[in-house]
Every structure is written in structure tokens, then in C-alpha cells.
Amino acid sequence: MYDEYHLECDCGSVKFSLSGEPKVRGFCHCEDCRELLKIPYHSVTAWEKEQLKVEAGAESVAVFQHPTKRMQRFYCGTCGETLFNSNAMDWRIVSQLLIRKCYDGELPLPLQSQMHFFYGRRIIDIDDSLPKRD
Ligand SMILES: [Zn+2]
Ligand SMILES: [Zn+2]
């Protein structure tokens, strides 16, 4: 049904799209996500670099390079909102929360989480029915 998703930051300066199916969709409990984003765990959709296209406002996209890890955080230079981040495989990681916000508060079904991963590294326990992998 949805094979293309259109997202934008809070101020609308940056617009980008995602196409096809995400490589991964789930909750990530690894320390890299925690450290890069200062969150207890990350609600991710992960995409190949080529699946994400910045369609407007490329000049407003600012990049934070993590000092030691092969990770970057891309954010809007005007409103400061995080757009996505990259990992060591150079995937594009887009928060389910941003997608939800751009879709009237509802995450499209094909993007909903299927599991928790790196659960052994968690700092918070989750009581739900999704599979949990270390
Ligand atoms: Zn913005
Ligand atoms: Zn992670």
C-alpha cells in the first residue's frame, strides 16, 4: 500500500522521502543509539542509503559526526530536529516517532516494529509481546 513515505522536519525546511521496504523495523537497545541520541532505546526503521532522498532543503541539512564511532546524526539546521542518523553500515536510520508525527500520529503498518534487538544491552525492561533478541 505505502511504498513511499514523505517526511519533513518541524519547520518544514527539509523534506525527504523513503521508498520501498525498510531493512529493519524494531526497537534497538544498543549503546550506540543511546549515546548518539541520548535516548533509552531507539524506535528504528533502517534503510539503504539509496532508499532515502532529500527532496527539499538539502542546504539546511546539518551533520554531526560522532567523535569516535562511525555514526552521524543528520538534523535540520533551522529547527534542530533530528532527521535521521547513519550507522557503521551507512544505513539510514529514521525514527518511528518522526514518521508517526508526519502521518497524523499513526505509524503506517508496514513500518511498525517486529522485534526488540540488542535486548541484552538494554537499560530498561519492556513488557510487550514482541520477540526479544540479543
Ligand atoms: Zn526544520
Ligand atoms: Zn542501536
Which residues place a Cβ less than 5 A from the ion ligand 2?
28, 30, 33
Report the separation in Å between the CA atom of 96 and the middle of ligand 2, taken as the mean of its atom positions: 13
Q: Is residue 133 part of a domain?
A: no
Can you give the CATH number for the domain in which 37 is found? 2.170.150.70
Report the separation in Å between the CA atom of 33 and the middle of ligand 2, taken as the mean of its atom positions: 4
Ligand (nearest to CA of 119): 2
Q: How many domains does the chain have?
A: 1
On whether the CB atoms of residues 14 and 8 are closer than 8 A, the answer is: yes
Q: What is the pLDDT of residue 2?
A: 55
- pLDDT of 1 over the 80 cut: no
Q: What is the pLDDT of residue 60?
A: 98
Band of the pLDDT at 3, cuts 50, 70, 90? confident
Q: Is residue 134 part of a domain?
A: no
On whether the CB atoms of residues 46 and 24 are closer than 8 A, the answer is: yes
Report the separation in Å between the CA atom of 26 and the middle of ligand 2, taken as the mean of its atom positions: 10
Report the separation in Å between the CA atom of 78 and the middle of ligand 1, taken as the mean of its atom positions: 5
Report the separation in Å between the CA atom of 99 and the middle of ligand 2, taken as the mean of its atom positions: 18
Q: Is residue 11 part of a domain?
A: yes
In this structure, what is the dihedral angle of CA atoms 111, 116, 118, 124, given to the nearest 10 degrees? 120
Report the separation in Å between the CA atom of 95 and the middle of ligand 1, taken as the mean of its atom positions: 15
pLDDT in tens, 58-89: 999 999 999 999 999 999 999 999 999 999 99
- What range defines the domain where residue 85 resides? 4-121
Q: Is residue 50 part of a domain?
A: yes
Ligand (nearest to CA of 83): 1
pTM (predicted TM-score): 0.94
Q: Is residue 56 part of a domain?
A: yes
Report the separation in Å between the CA atom of 47 and the middle of ligand 2, taken as the mean of its atom positions: 14
Band of the pLDDT at 119, cuts 50, 70, 90? very high
SS3 content of the chain, % helix, strand, coil (to 5): 20, 35, 45
pLDDT in tens, 7-63: 999 999 999 999 999 999 999 999 999 999 999 999 999 999 999 999 999 999 999
pLDDT, average across residues 111-121? 97
